[in-house]
Amino acid sequence: MRVAIIDYGSGNLRSAQKSFERAASTLDNSASIELVDTPEQLAGADRVVLPGVGAYRDCHDGIHAIDGMWQAIEEHCTARARPFLGICVGMQLMATRGLEHTVTPGFGWIKGEVDRIDVGDADLKIPHMGWNTLDVTQPHALLSGIETGSGGQHAYFVHSYHLRADKDADVVATARYGEPITAVVANGNMAGTQFHPEKSQTLGLAFISNFLTWAP
């Protein structure tokens, strides 16, 4: 199994690669975890991971700067229907559009907008940075075996914007930070996390392992 982590100049690529390699080593499959930066390298992948750190527009433009990469990602997810995982801004790009500084289109796989967190509490600072438990809103295989709820395992977040999905059915889990923050989304073979599984220790390793064995 080839797992492609897309290198377009954004994201914790080495950290993500090492986390996926560690998760793969605990499984009975022989997954190859590769960093790819061309559509040709992506074409033969069985699973695709799109990380993202920074501003929505910058990540959007970074992908488009690689000729054919945006289209190759869409081909992977729609025509080929292979498993896809977006991380942080990589997850936000699954939305219809982002509203950070300017209006920027996304892939449109999760209908909704990426907007600034409305904490409604002067004691809560933006960006939201730190550890939170997850509240499951829709059962999903990617959260199998992970302890959730107020006494559950913690995921690491660092962001100022989150995805406000139009359909509740697309939201798998939330976290609480002033308002419910969209933490995990999924639609068919496509899923995304606002938190960083590669930095989320026990929870993150379990989540990545679930993704590597996920059969949507």
Catalytic residues: 88, 196, 198
Q: What is the rounded CA–CA span in Å between residue 89 and residue 102?
A: 15
Residue type, 62: G
Q: What is the rounded CA–CA span in Å between residue 102 and residue 115?
A: 11
Nearest 5°: the CA angle 103, 106, 108 is 125
- Name the helix (H) or strand (E) containing 181: strand 179-187
Residue whose entry in the numeric block shows the structure tokens 């960083």: 196
Q: What is the rounded CA–CA span in Å between residue 56 and residue 158?
A: 14
